[in-house]
Amino acid sequence: MSVGVIGSGKFGLTLSKIISENGNKVTIFTRRDNEAKSINSSMKSLSGFVFDSNNVRATCAPKDLDDCKHIFITTPSHDFSKVVEKFIFEGDERVLITCTKGLEDRTSRLMSEILLDDFKHDENKLVVLSGPNLASEILNKETTATVLASKSKSVLEEVNNFLKTDYFIPYYSNDTSGVELAGALKNIYAIVSGYFNGMNVGQNTMGFLLTKSLEEMRLYSQSRGANLSTFLGLAGVGDFFSTALSPDSRNHQFGNYLSKGFSVEESLQRVGDIVEGLRTSKIVYKDCKRKNLNLKILKFLNDVYSRKEDYEGAKKLLISDKFQSDVSKD
């Protein structure tokens, strides 16, 4: 079976490695000609990523993925539409698996919604992949689970066969929007977690913060019609805690740098890679204003970006003068 992977970032290369080692031919699309040449000549990426299978090749030509019946999309959310339009056309019957965790800036749409609305893709041939999937740990063959969400059980079985190993274990769901929302939102609150971690708060405070962060994720997702039970699974609680507490998470690192007084630009430079949660937090904050939805942790984070809030504000963030219910039902 021939499988396409759009994107040669760490996660795209990790998926390519798994799929190829399961006996499938993989074509990786990269925008860097020297990356393609390196992979094709030495089975090694420019970042030092080594493939053990000869089933992998790389290309800079979108047409080279035309024969692939399944395509994994790992491109960042800010480039999603611009990149995808080179490969996908209206009425395309291939199975598309979106692995991108983010929202479209102008419309707040999920990547799956873009594929359905703009490219008129068949929802039964659309899969969302998300979960607690730190690429570095997958490469070390740490036992890892992921979630595949689609309306079609047969398509889920096909994609499961590409990915399942003794260390990478997919689970399935039919809640595509809930799984995708959870993956996008957890990046926001991983920044907040990194910020508080940088302040050296105790475990009681972190438990408090993470729980209320999950509540904000739930409230926003509820406003968009997601299945709330999804947030109790791997795509929700699982992905959130692995990202929020991991020093390897770019979003966590970014928040940590912000807590040290570095600006947004300085913090991004120190992380040295894309921080999806930064962009997503601004998009969700604007959407919450339109919905008249008051999420105070999210507001605090956006105020940190503009330096309206700092360490002192963080200490007051979780304190309320009101005697409140533990779990909000709104």
Which among 52-56, 125-129, 314-318, 321-325 has the top mean pLDDT?
125-129
- Domain membership flag for residue 17: yes
| 98-145 residue pLDDT tens | 999 999 999 999 999 999 999 999 999 999 999 999 999 999 999 999
Examine the fold and report which residue of 174, 207, 226 is the final residue of a domain before the chain moves on.
174
- Of the chain, the percentage scoring pLDDT greater than 70 comes to 98
Examine the fold and report which residue of 120, 144, 174 is the final residue of a domain before the chain moves on.
174
Examine the fold and report which residue of 117, 150, 174 is the final residue of a domain before the chain moves on.
174
The CA distance from 120 to 186, in Å, is 28
Residue 218 has pLDDT above 70, yes or no: yes
Residue 296: CATH number of its domain: 1.10.1040.10
pLDDT of residue 329: 63
- Domain membership flag for residue 39: yes
- Tally of domains in the chain: 2
- What is the model's pTM? 0.91
| 221-263 residue pLDDT tens | 989 988 888 989 999 999 999 999 999 899 999 999 999 999 9
Query: Which of 154, 188, 174, 178 minimizes the C-alpha distance to 276?
Result: 188
Whole-number mean pLDDT of the chain? 93
Q: Which residues are catalytic?
A: 186
* 14 phi and psi angles, rounded to 5 deg: -65, -45
Residue 285 has pLDDT above 70, yes or no: yes
Residue 81 has pLDDT above 80, yes or no: yes
Residue 308 has pLDDT above 90, yes or no: no
- Domain membership flag for residue 215: yes
- Domain membership flag for residue 325: no
Give the least confident one: 11-15, 38-42, 145-149, 318-322: 318-322
Examine the domain organization and report whether 96 and 162 are in the same domain: yes
Examine the domain organization and report whether 56 and 131 are in the same domain: yes
Q: How confident is the model at residue 40 (pLDDT cuts 50, 70, 90)?
A: very high
pLDDT of residue 330: 59
Examine the domain organization and report whether 153 and 193 are in the same domain: no
Residue 273 has pLDDT above 80, yes or no: yes
Number of Cβ within a 10 Å radius of residue 15? 27
Residue 311 has pLDDT above 70, yes or no: no
- Domain membership flag for residue 323: no
Examine the domain organization and report whether 45 and 68 are in the same domain: yes
Query: Which of 248, 255, 175 minimizes the C-alpha distance to 210?
Result: 255
Examine the domain organization and report whether 168 and 184 are in the same domain: no
pLDDT of residue 53: 81
Query: Which of 85, 119, 104 minimizes the C-alpha distance to 6?
Result: 85
Examine the domain organization and report whether 219 and 234 are in the same domain: yes
Number of Cβ within a 10 Å radius of residue 163? 18
Q: How confident is the model at residue 326 (pLDDT cuts 50, 70, 90)?
A: confident
Range of the domain at 85: 2-174
| Cβ proximity of 108 and 283 under 8 Å | yes
> What average pLDDT does the segment 6-28 reach?
96
